[in-house]
Amino acid sequence: MAARTTAALGASQAAATQADSEVAAFHLRRRLESLADRDDALAFGRIDQDDERWYVGRRHVEDEAGAPLVVDWR
């Protein structure tokens, strides 16, 4: 999670202006805090289909390669 946090906050540096960078960093921090602050499980269900397994949860989470680990229920 620490590596993903660093990568996400570093992405805010790609903004066109300093103000855009600060806004992006603010929203990224809020998103990361919402993932870390909860005591309940990130995933609350699972769908098994053929040889694939999908975890369903309150947020969409990807691995380093961009493959979904948890699919947002909405």
- What's residue 46's pLDDT? 92
Angle of CA points 12, 56, 8, to nearest 5°: 10
What per-residue confidence (pLDDT) applies to 38? 64
The residue range of the domain holding 68 is 40-74
Residue 55, SS3 per DSSP: strand
Mean pLDDT of 13-17: 73
Residue 8: which of 16, 66, 19, 24 has the closest Cα? Answer: 24
Q: Are residues 22 and 49 in the same domain?
A: no
What is the tally of structural domains in the chain?
2
Q: Please, which residues have CB within 8 angstroms of residue 2's CB and are 6 or more apart in sequence?
A: none
* pLDDT mean over 46-72: 87
Give the pLDDT mean for 22-47.
80
Same-domain check for residues 28 and 56: no
Which pTM was predicted? 0.47
Please check whether residues 44 and 32 belong to one and the same domain. Answer: no
